[in-house]
């Protein structure tokens, strides 16, 4: 038996429609029509909270110092990645925060290594200059 209101297929001995709830018996007064229930979109869940005791270092101070004192071109990406860590943690993206932290550390070490290499080359050149003056 089909419902005259919604067209749903019901069992032949059914008293009410399984889809809309309308009475399928002739002569029975029908309840007033009600609009179908509104389906609401799912509520956004709160961001995943970082487990207690877990920290993700941002290396921002290290990035700033290596940028100023060691190597500016390699220090800039270190600062950018270090600045992303806290924002990703607040958004609940722990894996992204850990990746940004890892990249910030890598660029800090590259900047520090480049700065130390420049200082070492400078010291070697000064030493070579001093040694060349000793032989005169």
List pLDDT tens digits, range 35-74.
667 777 776 665 555 566 568 999 999 999 999 999 899 9
Distance between CA atoms of 12 and 2, rounded to whole angstroms? 9
Distances in whole angstroms, Cα of residue 133 to Cα of each of 88, 121, 122: 57, 19, 17
Grouping H, G, I as helix, E, B as strand and the rest as coil, residue 101 is helix
Distance between CA atoms of 48 and 28, rounded to whole angstroms? 53
Say what the pLDDT of residue 36 is: 65
Q: 């925060």: which residue's tokens?
A: 97
Residues of the chain with pLDDT under 50: none
Characterize 18-45 residue by residue with b for buried, 16 or more Cβ atoms within 10 angstroms of its Cβ, and e for exposed: eeeebbbeeeeeeeeeeeeeeeeeeeee
pTM: 0.59
């Amino acid at each position: 038996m089909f419902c005259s209101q919604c067209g749903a297929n019901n069992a032949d001995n059914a008293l009410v429609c399984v889809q809309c709830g309308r009475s399928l018996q002739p002569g029975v007064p029908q309840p007033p029509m009600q609009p179908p229930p509104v389906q609401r979109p799912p509520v956004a869940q709160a961001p995943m909270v970082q487990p207690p005791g877990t920290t993700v270092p941002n290396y921002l101070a290290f990035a700033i110092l290596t940028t100023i004192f060691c190597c500016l071109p390699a220090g800039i990406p270190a600062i950018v990645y270090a600045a992303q860590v806290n924002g990703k943690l607040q958004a609940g993206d722990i894996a992204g925060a850990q990746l940004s932290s890892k990249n910030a550390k890598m660029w800090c070490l590259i900047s520090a290594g480049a700065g130390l290499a420049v200082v070492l080359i400078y010291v070697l050149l000064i030493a070579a200059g001093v040694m060349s003056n000793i032989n005169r």
